[in-house]
Amino acid sequence: MSAHADTHDAHDDHHHKETFVTKYIFSQDHKMIAKQYLITGTIMGVVGVMMSLMMRMQIAWPEEPNVIFQALLGKWAPEGVMDADIYLALVTIHGTIMVFFVLTAGLSGTFSNLLIPLQIGARDMASGFLNMISYWLFFISSVIMVLSFFVEAGPAAAGWTIYPPLSALPMAQGGSGAGMTMWLVSMAIFIASSLLGSLNYVVTVINLRTKGMSMTRLPLTIWAFFVTAIIGIISFPVLLSAALLLIMDRSFGTSFFLSDIFIQGEVLHYQGGSPVLFEHLFWFLGHPEVYIVLLPALGITSEIIATNSRKPIFGYRAMIASILAIAFLSTIVWGHHMFISGMNPFLGSVFTFTTLLIAIPSAVKAFNYITTLWKGNLQMNPAMLFSIGLVSTFITGGLTGIILGDSALDINVHDTYFVVAHFHLVMGISALYGMFAGIYHWFPKMFGRMLNKNLGYVHFWVTAVCAYGVFFPMHFIGMAGLPRRYYTNSNFPLFDDLQDVNVVITVFALIGGAFQIVFIYNLFSSMFFGKKATQNPWKSNTMEWTTPVEHIHGNWPGEIPHVHRWAYDYSKPGHDEDWVSQIVPLKDGEEELQH
């Protein structure tokens, strides 16, 4: 349908009225689908964060009965004492939900859907129908994942990496029965959703750009979404195949990942498989997944930092090159999760080399952000604060990657809290900041109203302090050798002196978690009662701000505007205003920057 976008007349819509169901539920309009992703992702985020807070309380006060556990976990916390199995389940589902459902679907789903058509000048996605299917598959997989908490033996509990044999054998762990089946089914549906979405994004970016919107005039957001979608298409099918093989091993007696197992008094029939194979397949997705989460956040901040600095993004071409370099390298570094898995040490050397190379494009990006701020006229909107926050946590978290990517050093910190601290800062918090920044920035575009900025400031500053308060000290308990995924550390007097640190971390986590209420309140109350937005509140150059505040099907009334310049003509000499929209033609004698 949208292939004919240019000839499509926006006034059509007035003729066939949409019903409530086609407009709000089974909508094929990318703007509505973006909102659906945002709201589902936010709800999943609340669930995921609450799980982490319960884990933190368990680690800090392991012996004490807790009414919150009793209220939320029911039979899994008799008398308010958390069961060891459900702790591992919380670890598992928290990871799964945050990585896939919040930071992949919630982040990419919301902003790719919203911004790709609006920023490239298209009426809608290439296929609105596939887009709708993609959302509803995501919705179904979310429901299945949450429902897995209600099966008799508990949800999947083998860690989000679900390494077999633990995840394959119901006798190894309660959660590896029906709970793991639901996890696998949910993820299979999720992957289908993600692939449909990604294909749509790629096709749309390649085919539906408006006249004048060459690839080198695309905003960096679109570049990031585009490359992210490609990484997803390359790597998600591999996880799907791993999941299918695991299902075969679990239910049909094959031995892809299992061999020589004696458990609960009996020898199992499996022979010849290897869990290491699963690790390879899993991390072939698992590592690119980090960048699937991170790149959209980096794209969003590139846009927001440039807009709010009132300056062009520094090194536009270098930014694109580093996105491409990161994307390429991300597919050949998965082995750094497996240095001590028993694979050949020589492979470890190769993966150390490729892994540390990723630091180079990452450093380029960080420096370019900082240079963009230099001599700017920084407008400290909440979106800008979160973007600066992202650069800060991206640096702090990224730097410790130098240690973890180095196989020799990984020996001693592998699977300790050092790793937990590292990836939470560099991808968890950073991507979350990117998502917050995006929401604060594009909320007026999505809902036609403004978010309350003072609540935004409170939200940012408390979150920023708590994020460092939680994850900075965590590096140190990791370096002291504390393994992750321990239900309690009280069986190791060796770690008794770390308990105080754990309490401090938990207190920061609880404060930070509680203050997310401010954001949730702001989000939902501003949807209905926020101040009405103007067309272009941030004085931004990109095309989405040339559409009317009230959403219309087809995005622009009349013809789609043509593009005459790149997206970053902020404070360009020779113009009165400090911004020039992409749709404004070059003046006589004005040169487009050789970027």
534 counts as binding another protein under rule CB under 8 A: yes
Closest to another protein by CB, 201 or 386: 386
Site for another protein in 191-250 (CB under 8 A): none
Closest to another protein by CB, 25 or 411: 411
590 counts as binding another protein under rule CB under 8 A: no
Closest to another protein by CB, 139 or 457: 457
User: Look-up: residue for tokens 């939680």?
Assistant: 470
Closest to another protein by CB, 196 or 320: 320
Evaluate whether 376 touches 306 at the Cβ level (below 8 Å).
Answer: no
Site for another protein in 545-584 (CB under 8 A): 568, 570-573, 578
Stretch that binds another protein, among 17-25, 47-55, 221-229, 388-396 (CB under 8 A): 388-396
Site for another protein in 41-80 (CB under 8 A): 67, 70-71
Site for another protein in 424-463 (CB under 8 A): 450-455, 457, 461
- Dihedral sign for Cα 550, 555, 557, 562, please: positive
* Cβ within 8 Å of residue 344, ≥6 positions away: none
Residue 390's alpha-carbon distances to 57, 112, 198, 295, in angstroms, are 26, 19, 24, 12
Closest to another protein by CB, 113 or 301: 301
Q: Which of 3, 143, 244, 494 binds another protein (CB under 8 A)?
A: 494
Q: How far is the CB of 39 from another protein (least distance, A)?
A: 18
CA atoms within 13 A on the CB side of 449: 13
User: Vertex 468, ends 464 and 473: CA angle to 5°?
Assistant: 165
Q: Rounded to whole angstroms, how far apart are CA atoms 5 and 15?
A: 18
Site for another protein in 142-181 (CB under 8 A): 158-159, 163-166, 169, 172-174
Q: Give me the 339-378 binding string for another protein, x by CB under 8 A, dash otherwise.
A: -xxx--x--xx--xx--xx-xx--xx-xxxxxx-xxxxxx
Q: How far is the CB of 206 from another protein (least distance, A)?
A: 26
Closest to another protein by CB, 84 or 143: 84
- Number of neighbours of residue 317 by Cβ within 10 angstroms: 10
- Number of neighbours of residue 539 by Cβ within 10 angstroms: 16
Closest to another protein by CB, 159 or 212: 159
Q: Could you give phi then psi for residue 483, rounded to 5 degrees?
A: -70, 150
Closest to another protein by CB, 31 or 337: 337
Site for another protein in 401-420 (CB under 8 A): 402-403, 406-409, 411-412, 414-416
Q: Give me the 240-269 binding string for another protein, x by CB under 8 A, dash otherwise.
A: ------------------xxxxxx-x-x--
Buried (b) or exposed (e) across 62-100, using 16+ Cβ within 10 A?
A: beeebeebbeebeebbeeebbbebbbbbbbbbbbbbbbb
Stretch that binds another protein, among 213-221, 422-430, 516-524, 540-548 (CB under 8 A): 516-524
Neighbour-count burial of 304, counting CB atoms closer than 10 A to its CB (0-12 exposed, 13-18 middle, 19+ buried): buried
Q: Specify the DSSP class assigned to residue 252.
A: S
Closest to another protein by CB, 201 or 339: 339
Site for another protein in 99-138 (CB under 8 A): none
Q: Which amino acid is at 542?
A: T
Q: How far is the CB of 489 from another protein (least distance, A)?
A: 7
485 counts as binding another protein under rule CB under 8 A: yes
Residue 299's alpha-carbon distances to 24, 218, 292, 438, 493, in angstroms, are 28, 11, 11, 10, 46
Evaluate whether 418 touches 475 at the Cβ level (below 8 Å).
Answer: yes
Q: Which of 95, 473, 554, 561 binds another protein (CB under 8 A)?
A: 473
Q: Which of 109, 197, 275, 296 binds another protein (CB under 8 A)?
A: 275
Q: What is the largest CA-CA distance in the chain?
A: 85
Binders of another protein: how many residues, by CB under 8 A? 143
Cα 334–chain centre separation: 18
Closest to another protein by CB, 107 or 501: 501
User: Look-up: residue for tokens 């640190």?
Assistant: 501
CA atoms within 13 A on the CB side of 250: 27
Closest to another protein by CB, 190 or 270: 270
Q: Which amino acid is at 453?
A: K
Q: How far is the CB of 172 from another protein (least distance, A)?
A: 5
